[in-house]
């Protein structure tokens, strides 16, 4: 019990510190990558190559004056940033970030809390962040902030359904909701990474994750041209920063989930020693580096998309969530469950590379009607040119 408590405390401190420091550096990385894409320099004055810019921004926000709207609900106004900030940090607690470490006191899993319902915990706790956004908009007593909060609620509820359905496919293959077991199921070979047998599930998950984190092209709750700044219009100083910390923390968690659910988690491709129950220190560090590289790739994808694509209109956002993603996710689950049953029960195949390739072929067959036939601007309006002689 003592070893468990000490190891859990150490992992808690390390993970929390890594997320907070990583979020600060992520803000700098986004500004530098954005500058690189736009052929300019970006922040480069504070510290060598601008590395101390996040510290300067944090100090500025700590020292800035706190303002409170005269007609705001004070306690709800103060509580709202906390309700967005805390769930964003708690969700990382069940994600395994490295292989289990073998110590003289036993094998220590590299996850803060290896819950048997780990993924359900992420869905439950992650969805609490919407309460902070809704309360921020309502308690400000500002109509633009309220509209931003309502938009955020509608958007997050709409895309949480598709997000949850896309991950049911992962649970069908893994047969378990513990994330450690999901990672173990993908350890056989590179082809058994879920991105191959569940290609379209990964596609749905990525789109829903962008919408859940309010990132472009899904940042309608923060549409500056329409709503000033959305739900955090009236916030200043550190309370304003807490919303941004929550957003970037959610990005890190979503990227870690993509790596865990679809890209083998901390598994290293083309090696087999990482499947052992208990690794030495160097092996555990190697799996940690592999997991970090995967997470950094998806964080770069977030930044890349933000500075590449324009924002959706709000009617397009809702149409995509309810008319395209939700029906397709349900259809995809039905077809996939039937295919898994047929391969298991009728053909007697165990889950291996051949099984994964068969499901990959099914995903490719489903992708053709999805990308080339289904929409063409008829459902998500405004995405296709009008026919000749047609009326707007």
Express each pLDDT in 125-160 by its tens digit. 888 888 888 888 888 888 888 888 888 888 888 888
- Residue at 54 is within a domain: no
The pLDDT score that the predictor gives to residue 258 is: 92
Q: How far apart are the first and last CA of the chain?
A: 69
Does the pLDDT at position 225 exceed 60? no
Q: Is residue 105 part of a domain?
A: yes
Neighbours of 186 (CB within 10 A): 27
Residue-wise pLDDT for 228-256, tens only, equals 667 878 888 888 888 888 888 889 989 99
Task: Examine residue 358 and state whether it is found in any structural domain, yes or no.
Answer: yes
Residues 6+ apart with CB under 8 A from 238: 61, 62, 64, 66
Whether residue 223 is predicted with pLDDT greater than 70 in this model: the reply is no
Structural domains of the chain, count = 1
Burial class (CB in 10 A: 0-12, 13-18, 19+), 76: middle
Q: What is the domain extent for residue 96? A: 61-374
d(C-alpha 153, C-alpha 131), whole Å: 8
Q: At what angle do helices 118-126 and 74-90 cross, to 10 degrees?
A: 160
What is the sign, positive or negative, of the torsion defined by CA atoms of 67, 71, 75, 76?
A: negative
365-378: average pLDDT: 73
How many of the other CB atoms lie within 10 Å of CB of 315?
A: 11
Give the pLDDT of residue 226.
60
H-helix segments, the chain: 2-37, 53-63, 74-90, 118-126, 129-139, 143-174, 179-185, 199-212, 224-227, 237-262, 281-306, 314-319, 326-341, 353-369
211 vs 234: CA distance, rounded Å: 23
More confident residue, 374 or 27: 27
Answer yes or no: is pLDDT of 348 > 60: yes
- Whether residue 50 lies inside any domain: the answer is no
* Cα gap 84→308, rounded to integer Å: 27
112 C-beta neighbours (distance < 10 Å), count: 23
Query: Residue 89: what pLDDT?
Result: 83
- Residue 182 in any domain: the answer is yes
HSE (side-chain half, CA atoms, 13 Å) at 87 = 22
Token pair for 369:
């009607």
In percent, how much of the chain has pLDDT > 90? 15
Tell me how far apart the alpha carbons of residues 87 and 213 are, in angstroms, rounded to a whole number: 13
Q: Are 103 and 166 in contact (CB under 8 A)?
A: no
The pLDDT value recorded for residue 392 is 47
What is the torsion angle, in degrees rounded to the nearest 10, for the CA atoms of residue 129, residue 213, residue 300 and residue 284?
30
What pLDDT was estimated at residue 367? 86
Cα–Cα distance between 252 and 26 in angstroms, integer?
9
Mean pLDDT calculated for residue range 311-316: 79
81 found inside a domain: yes
pLDDT band at 375 (very low <50, low <70, confident <90, very high): low
Q: Please enumerate in sequence order all residues whose Cβ is within 8 A of that of 383, keeping only pairs 6 or more positions apart, or say none.
A: 316, 375, 377
Nearest-angstrom CA–CA distance, 200 and 305: 19
Q: What integer pLDDT is reported at residue 374 of this predicted model? A: 62
Reported as a pLDDT band with limits 50, 70 and 90, residue 295 is very high
What percent of the chain has pLDDT above 70? Answer: 92
C-alpha distances (whole Å) from 164 to each of 126, 169, 175 are: 11, 9, 16
232 touches 136 (CB < 8 A): yes
Q: Return d(Cα 169, Cα 225) in angstroms, integer.
A: 38
Q: What pTM was estimated for this model as a whole?
A: 0.87
pLDDT at 279: 79
CA–CA gap between residue 109 and residue 95 (Å, rounded): 11
Structural domain includes residue 35: no
Task: Give tens-digit pLDDT for 264-291.
Answer: 888 888 887 766 677 788 888 989 999 9
Q: What is the pLDDT of residues 82-106, one digit of tens each?
A: 888 888 888 888 899 888 888 887 7
Asked whether the predicted pLDDT for residue 74 surpasses 90, the reply is: no
CB atoms near residue 308 (< 10 Å)? 10
Does 69 score more than 80 pLDDT? yes
Widest CA span in the chain: 78
pLDDT of residue 294: 94
Does residue 6 fall inside a structural domain?
A: no
Task: State the average pLDDT over residues 58-65.
Answer: 86
Q: What is the pLDDT of residues 184-215, one digit of tens each?
A: 888 878 888 999 999 999 999 999 988 888 88
For 164, other C-beta atoms within 10 Å of its C-beta total 16
């Amino acid at each position: 019990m003592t070893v468990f408590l000490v190891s859990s405390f150490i992992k808690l401190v390390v993970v929390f510190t890594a997320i907070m420091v990583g979020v600060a550096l992520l803000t700098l990385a986004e500004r530098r990558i954005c500058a690189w894409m736009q052929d300019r320099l970006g922040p480069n004055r504070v510290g060598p190559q601008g590395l101390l810019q996040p510290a300067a921004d944090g100090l500025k926000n700590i020292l800035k004056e706190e303002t409170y709207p005269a007609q705001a609900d004070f306690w709800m106004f103060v509580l709202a940033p906390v309700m967005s900030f805390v769930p964003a940090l708690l969700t990382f607690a069940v994600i395994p970030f490295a292989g289990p470490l073998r110590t003289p006191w036993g094998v220590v899993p590299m996850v803060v809390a290896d819950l048997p319902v780990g993924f359900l915990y992420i869905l439950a706790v992650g969805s609490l962040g919407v309460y902070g956004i809704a309360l921020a908009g309502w308690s400000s007593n500002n109509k633009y902030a309220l509209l931003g909060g309502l938009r955020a609620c509608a958007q997050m509820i709409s895309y949480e359904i598709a997000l949850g359905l896309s991950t049911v496919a992962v649970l069908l293959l893994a047969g378990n909701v513990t994330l450690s077991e999901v990672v173990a199921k993908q350890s056989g070979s590179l082809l058994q990474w879920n991105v191959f047998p569940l290609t379209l599930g990964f596609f749905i998950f990525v789109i829903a994750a962008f919408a859940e984190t309010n990132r472009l092209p899904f940042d309608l709750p923060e549409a500056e041209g329409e709503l000033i700044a959305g739900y955090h219009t009236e916030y200043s100083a550190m309370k304003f920063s807490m919303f941004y910390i929550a957003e970037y923390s959610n990005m890190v968690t979503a990227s870690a989930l993509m790596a865990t659910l679809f890209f083998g988690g901390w598994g290293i491709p083309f090696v087999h020693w990482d499947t052992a129950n208990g690794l030495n220190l160097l092996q555990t560090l190697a799996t940690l580096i592999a997991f970090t590289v995967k997470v950094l790739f998806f964080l770069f994808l977030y930044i890349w998309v933000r500075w590449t694509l324009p924002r959706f209109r709000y009617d397009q956002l809702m149409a995509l969530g309810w008319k395209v993603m939700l029906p397709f996710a349900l259809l995809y689950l039905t077809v996939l469950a039937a295919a898994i049953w047929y391969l298991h029960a009728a053909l007697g195949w165990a889950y291996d590379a051949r099984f994964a390739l068969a499901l990959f072929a099914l995903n490719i067959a489903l992708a053709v009607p999805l990308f080339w036939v289904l929409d063409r601007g008829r459902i998500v309006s405004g995405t296709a040119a009008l026919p000749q002689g047609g009326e707007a």
